[in-house]
Amino acid sequence: MLTLYIGNKNYSSWAMRVGVLMTQAQIPHEQVLVRFDGFDEGSAFKQRLKAVSPTGKVPLLVDGDLKIWDTLAICEYLAEQFPGKHLWPQDKAARAVARSVVAELHSGFGALRQHCSMNIEAHLPEVGAILWRDQPGVRADVQRAVELFPELLARHGGPMLFGDFSIADAYYAPMCTRFMTYGIPLPPAVQDYVQRVLALPGVKAWCDDARAEHDFVAFQEPYRLRRD
């Protein structure tokens, strides 16, 4: 049985990508949630993960004696271990583009990630309106998604970015939750894709668990001093 170490589902965007991928693709695994209490070396979170992970971060996938501690590396490993799941597009050209858009998110969209941290349980459209007004980097990152999603959907026929569900959709699922949390203005085609992603069983299961946590972590809440 594969074991996936994750953080709080409400906040843990990188772990969400792998958790959604494995659940949606019906890859059997056990999830071990390590609660966020801080990211300093003395935190309980770091201490527990340091016992199993060389980086002390999530996600971490354990397969027997093998430990894989990077989100993209985990996805690539799963694609190799479960070729029948077709986690990447089968067409070589489409697969190359899918890897490109995943790598773009892996290292990019910094303003959106910084200012619109993932917070599935929250509803913060008033914060989103201020960020939209004051943060050109957020507007630029959203514009890139607004250009990217319709182009890929049109090229591959939908309903997902490359036709069928793939690693690319799992990677962009946390971005879709950010759009909803902060009420980011989106054109209809992008909004429709976001809703399709949020309706995927693997995404819905993660979001339902996130809302059920009822675990308000203050340092993960830059815009709320207390639960509404």
* pLDDT one-digit tens code per residue, 188-198: 999 999 999 99
- Separation between Cα atoms, residue 59 and residue 94, nearest integer Å: 26
**Residue 9, φ and ψ in degrees, nearest 5:** -65, -25
What is the token pair recorded at 121?
Answer: 């349980």
Question: Has residue 109 got a pLDDT over 70?
Answer: yes
Every domain of the chain with CATH number 3.40.30.10 lies at 2-85+213-220
Nearest-CA neighbor of 215 among 5, 8, 6, 34?
A: 8
| pLDDT, mean of residues 139-161 | 98
Every domain of the chain with CATH number 1.20.1050.10 lies at 92-209
User: In this structure, which topology does domain 92-209 adopt according to CATH?
Assistant: Glutathione S-transferase Yfyf (Class Pi); Chain A, domain 2 (1.20.1050)
Residues paired with 62 in a beta bridge? 3, 67
Side-chain half-sphere exposure of 10, counting CA atoms within 13 A: 17
Band (pLDDT 50/70/90 cuts) for residue 224 is confident
CA distances from 78 to 28, 33, 133, 195 (A): 11, 20, 40, 26
User: With respect to CATH, is domain 2-85+213-220 assigned 3.40.50.2300?
Assistant: no
Question: Has residue 17 got a pLDDT over 60?
Answer: yes
| pLDDT, mean of residues 54-80 | 97
